Amino acid sequence: MTTVQERSPMPQEREPNPAMTAADRPIGYGRVQRKEDPRFIRGKGRYLDDIVLPGMLHGAVLRSPMAHARLVSIDTTEALAHPKVHAVITGKDLEGLNLAWAPTLSADTMAVLATDKVRFQGQEVAFVVAEDRYSARDALELIDVEYEQLPVVIDARRALEPGTAVIRDDKDGQTDNHIFDWEAGDKAETEAVFARADVVVSEDVVYPRVHPAPMETCGAIADYDPIDGKLTLYETTQAPHAHRTLYAMVAGIPEHKIRVIAGDIGGGFGNKVGIYPGYICAVVGSIVTGKPVKWVEDRSENLMSTSFARDYLMRGEIAATKDGKILAVRTHVLADHGAFNATAQPTKYPAGFFSIFTGSYDLEAAYCSVTGVYTNKAPGGVAYACSFRVTEAVYLVERMVDVLAQRLEMDPAELRLKNFIRPEQFPYKNKTGWEYDSGDYEPALRMCMEQIGYADLRQEQAEKRARGELMGIGVSFFTETVGAGPRKHFDIVGLGMADGAEVRVHPTGKAVVRLSVQTQGQGHETTFAQIVAEELGIPPEDIEVVHGDTDQTPFGLGTYGSRSTPVSGGAVALAARKVRDKAKAIAAAMLETRPEDLEWEKGRFFVKGDPSAAKTISEIALGAHGTVALPEGVDGNLDAEVTYDPPNLTFPFGAYICVVDIDAGTGKVKVRRFVAVDDCGTRINPMIVEGQIHGGLADGVGMALMEFIGFDEQGNCLGGSFMDYLIPTALEVPDWELGATVTPSPHHPIGAKGIGESATVGSPPAVVNAVVDALAPFGVTHMDMPCTPARVWAAMQGRATPPI
């Protein structure tokens, strides 16, 4: 396996980027401008709310102001009397259709519209359909709901205490707020290692509730045609096919009569994986009124009711020798899943892939146990570029390694270098059952240290400390597990995590590739064209990428958990190779030779030893569809379809170092520099890869310093608008400095590992480690996110408290 190292140029070093002519553009991998950009920069994207259908009505959701209350009565008379209102739908109406409750993605149920109780603030209570957006909102005010308040459960630590209100009394046999217990690793073996370790450090580490908050909120337009019984559903979705299947299962509409269309999506980050009550209400609204119904949530609805992320309360422990050999990691997690267990994750993995908390280190033992509980908060839990809870796992281990370094008075980078899994140990089987496909960790961390000037920074820090100035250097090193399947291990509500792709080369040599995955800004139209281009030698601009329409694309589970390139990328590459094999047989017929006498060079087959006897892929395409006498068993096209079931996950990794300065007078943290060295295997379009990393780094700074969904004791959401839920602007983030190593995945058709979530996973610990490092002179060993000025100030006074 090769490891290539390269540093991406700093902006000031870069050549001016002259507009590339078609002739300069790589046919295959490389930096190419995106095919989707020309429409976006002209304002011609087609996002959900841009779609207007003839006769379309508008829906609005009435939401609960209370976190836990019994529904006594709902009076819709006045709302129905509003001249522009066409329908008002309540939970009772849905009960009649058997739609008041719907299955979640975690084998639980969720209320579509409340029938018995409301269980979190912002829960859906009624749905109004009116002629325009403003009237639908006006009518919400005219609905009269009587609630009888119930005791709320907000602190997950108290959710299981005897006598606590039972949130899910709708479930047969549910007598408390317990959802699941899950464990990984060997408990006894881990205990034994801890018992003989020289040093054990432990810390309570909270990863607070945050929200993906894509700039476009969630929404749907349902258009039910009563004559042919067909439902067309425009949605903000990351998983159109999975949605179609679920609607068929839930609503009883046959699957072939449902078409899910996802147009341009204004960011997703996991927020657009699930099916929300508003979507189902839009469908019912369209069936009831006979007209298309659009529902788009506002920002408060998005932040208060749709899929949150994290909310993990972790006890972390590390056992080590006194000279810094890490022996074991152990953790117990209390997972707050909100009122309905609606996290999108594989059935056998209720804590997602959290068991990758063993990190990048060669351990003797590891064990985790996770307990999931219900609280009176919005449901969700796997979102915000978290790679199925890898982000919580990485944060825990990377925070704990720093706690250990501080205890041992060792440099945190040195401690990591000492404990890395070594290159010759790959494929590496960790203590919780993962098989890491490939890795070469030390060069990545060394590159990162060199690029940021680690030794000089430590020197500067020492000088500043002597002057009483607060500067911190935070190191983090992550290994992710992404790209699920294999389908035999990983499913979403019973659907195996595989993805289909179809490649067709038209008679003139232009091509179309159809995908099951769904871009939300990642540039699939460009990247997937480049994969086909690399395999077939057809220029990317001659390849149309079709996605986001279940009537036009093969089945597959969609885009989340960084799975588009690892899974769909594999499918596309293999489909293109099938096309190439077929092209070879046809070229042999055209050249009157045997296939084994042909050799491939990008874009053409030629006769070995006679390069002038050749057929280009265009000529072969014309031959395939023309009058050439085709060889036995070869039909007249250049098409292929593949459903790719990956043999294993992929394990991207990276080394991040962050430098912060803290204002000793106010506690305000300023991120001065951030160097990120990522290894995601083969890079198809380095420009897009770097863009994905940049976005994730900003997420990390946001979570570490400001993003937080909190609640008061009554269960009022305190992060329900962008005035309260703070997202970094251009002023809070530095200019990112990137580096790269390339360690391809040995089992993946093109060696690619997936990059969509790496930086969101890897950056929060780098920032928090830097903050704690800066605060070390105050005796701080840990502080929880978000590191807001007030909380940093409290930590400086010896009062570092958890945010919840």
**Which one among 230, 299, 510, 747 touches other proteins, defined by CB under 8 A?**
299
Q: Using the Cα atoms of residue 243, residue 245, residue 250 and residue 256 in order, give the sign of their dihedral.
A: positive
For residue 779, count other CB atoms closer than 10 A to its CB.
Answer: 10
How far is residue 210's CA from residue 225's CA, in Å, rounded to a whole number?
A: 39
Q: Please list every residue from 6 through 65 that binds other proteins, using CB under 8 A.
A: 11, 16-17, 19, 33-34, 36-47, 49-50, 52
How many amino acids of this chain bind other proteins (CB under 8 A)? Answer: 59
Residue 195 engages other proteins in binding (rule: CB under 8 A) = no
Q: Which is nearer to ligand FES, 693 or 800 (CB)?
A: 693
Place of tokens 């899994």: 421
Residue 348: which of ligand FES, other proteins, none does it interact with, CB under 5 to 8 A by kind? none
**Which one among 4, 165, 215, 462 touches ligand FES, defined by CB under 6 A?**
215
Residue 257: which of other proteins, ligand FES, none does it interact with, CB under 5 to 8 A by kind? none
Nearest to 382 by CA among 369, 374, 392, 373: 392
For residue 727, count other CB atoms closer than 10 A to its CB.
Answer: 15
Asked if 776 and 405 touch (Cβ cutoff 8 Å), the reply is no
Q: What burial letters (b/e) apply to 425-463, b meaning 16+ CB within 10 Å?
A: ebebebbbebebbbbbbbbbbbbbbebbebeebeeebee
**Which one among 90, 121, 217, 461 touches other proteins, defined by CB under 8 A?**
217
SS3 760: helix
Q: Which is nearer to ligand FES, 114 or 304 (CB)?
A: 304
Residue 184 engages other proteins in binding (rule: CB under 8 A) = no
Binding mask 221-260 vs ligand FES (x if CB under 6 A, - otherwise)?
----------------------------------------
SS3 734: coil
**Which one among 185, 523, 623, 762 touches other proteins, defined by CB under 8 A?**
523
Q: Please list every residue from 677 through 716 that binds other proteins, using CB under 8 A.
A: 687-688, 690-691, 694-698
Residue 263 engages ligand FES in binding (rule: CB under 6 A) = no
Q: How far is the CB of 700 from other proteins (least distance, A)?
A: 10
How far is residue 376's CA from residue 67's CA, in Å, rounded to a whole number?
A: 6
Residue 79: which of other proteins, ligand FES, none does it interact with, CB under 5 to 8 A by kind? none
Stretch that binds other proteins, among 107-115, 220-228, 293-301, 614-622 (CB under 8 A): 293-301
How far is residue 26's CA from residue 537's CA, in Å, rounded to a whole number?
A: 10
Residue 534 has, within 13 A of its CA and on its CB side, a CA count of 22
Q: Which is nearer to other proteins, 36 or 311 (CB)?
A: 36
Radius of gyration of the chain (CA): 27
Q: Which is nearer to ligand FES, 599 or 732 (CB)?
A: 732
- The DSSP result for 224-237, as a single string, is EETTTTEEEEEE--
Q: How far is the CB of 188 from other proteins (least distance, A)?
A: 45
**Which one among 106, 177, 300, 371 touches other proteins, defined by CB under 8 A?**
300
Q: Which is nearer to other proteins, 52 or 790 (CB)?
A: 52
In DSSP terms, 199 is beta-bridged to: 320
Q: How far is the CB of 496 from ligand FES (least distance, A)?
A: 31
Cα distances (Å, whole numbers) of residue 60 to 22, 142, 382, 435: 48, 13, 26, 47
Residue 20 engages ligand FES in binding (rule: CB under 6 A) = no
Q: How far is the CB of 689 from other proteins (least distance, A)?
A: 10
- The per-type count for the chain, helices as H runs and strands as E runs, is 18, 34
Angle of CA points 464, 467, 469, to nearest 5°: 55
Residue 133: which of other proteins, ligand FES, none does it interact with, CB under 5 to 8 A by kind? other proteins
User: Which DSSP symbol is given to 361?
Assistant: B
How far is residue 772's CA from residue 83's CA, in Å, rounded to a whole number?
A: 60
Residue 148: which of ligand FES, other proteins, none does it interact with, CB under 5 to 8 A by kind? none
Q: How far is the CB of 730 from ligand FES (least distance, A)?
A: 11
Q: Which is nearer to ligand FES, 299 or 625 (CB)?
A: 299
How many amino acids of this chain bind ligand FES (CB under 6 A)? Answer: 3
Q: Please list every residue from 687 through 716 that binds ligand FES, using CB under 6 A.
A: none
How far is residue 97's CA from residue 117's CA, in Å, rounded to a whole number?
A: 19
Nearest to 212 by CA among 258, 289, 271, 150: 271
Asked if 195 and 327 touch (Cβ cutoff 8 Å), the reply is no
**Which one among 267, 427, 507, 710 touches ligand FES, defined by CB under 6 A?**
267
Residue 235 engages other proteins in binding (rule: CB under 8 A) = no
How far is residue 323's CA from residue 768's CA, in Å, rounded to a whole number?
A: 25
Q: Which is nearer to ligand FES, 216 or 773 (CB)?
A: 216
Residue 650: which of other proteins, ligand FES, none does it interact with, CB under 5 to 8 A by kind? none
Q: Which is nearer to other proteins, 500 or 695 (CB)?
A: 695
Q: Which is nearer to other proteins, 336 or 678 (CB)?
A: 678
Q: Which is nearer to other proteins, 237 or 618 (CB)?
A: 237
Q: Please list every residue from 473 through 532 that binds ligand FES, using CB under 6 A.
A: 521
Residue 49: which of other proteins, ligand FES, none does it interact with, CB under 5 to 8 A by kind? other proteins
Length of the chain (residues): 804
Residue 107: which of ligand FES, other proteins, none does it interact with, CB under 5 to 8 A by kind? none
Asked if 554 and 500 touch (Cβ cutoff 8 Å), the reply is yes
Angle of CA points 566, 568, 569, to nearest 5°: 60
Q: How far is the CB of 489 from other proteins (least distance, A)?
A: 31
Contacts of 724 (CB under 8 A, 6+ apart): 718
Nearest to 719 by CA among 344, 385, 345, 299: 299
How far is residue 636's CA from residue 716's CA, in Å, rounded to a whole number?
A: 64
Q: How far is the CB of 724 from ligand FES (least distance, A)?
A: 14
Angle of CA points 58, 559, 377, to nearest 5°: 60
Stretch that binds other proteins, among 308-316, 519-527, 565-573, 647-655 (CB under 8 A): 519-527
Binding mask 721-750 vs ligand FES (x if CB under 6 A, - otherwise)?
------------------------------
Residue 237: which of other proteins, ligand FES, none does it interact with, CB under 5 to 8 A by kind? none
SS3 151: coil
User: Which DSSP symbol is given to 595?
Assistant: G
For residue 633, count other CB atoms closer than 10 A to its CB.
Answer: 6
How far is residue 453's CA from residue 543's CA, in Å, rounded to a whole number?
A: 44
Residue 37: which of ligand FES, other proteins, none does it interact with, CB under 5 to 8 A by kind? other proteins
SS3 186: coil
Q: Which is nearer to other proteins, 45 or 423 (CB)?
A: 45
Q: Please list every residue from 541 through 600 that binds other proteins, using CB under 8 A.
A: none
Residue 213 engages other proteins in binding (rule: CB under 8 A) = yes
Q: How far is the CB of 380 from ligand FES (least distance, A)?
A: 21
Cα distances (Å, whole numbers) of residue 24 to 13, 18, 20, 274, 531: 21, 11, 6, 42, 18
Q: How far is the CB of 378 from ligand FES (least distance, A)?
A: 21
Strands (E), 590-646: 598-601, 604-607, 610-616, 638-644
Q: Which is nearer to other proteins, 32 or 774 (CB)?
A: 32
Residue 722 engages other proteins in binding (rule: CB under 8 A) = yes
Amino acid occupying residue 480:
E
Q: Using the Cα atoms of residue 26, residue 28, residue 31 and residue 32 in order, give the sign of their dihedral.
A: positive
For ligand FES, the binding residues (CB under 6 A) are 215, 267, 521
* Positions that interact with other proteins (CB under 8 A): 11, 16-17, 19, 33-34, 36-47, 49-50, 52, 133-134, 213-217, 264-267, 269, 298-300, 520-523, 687-688, 690-691, 694-698, 721-723, 727, 729-731, 733, 735-736
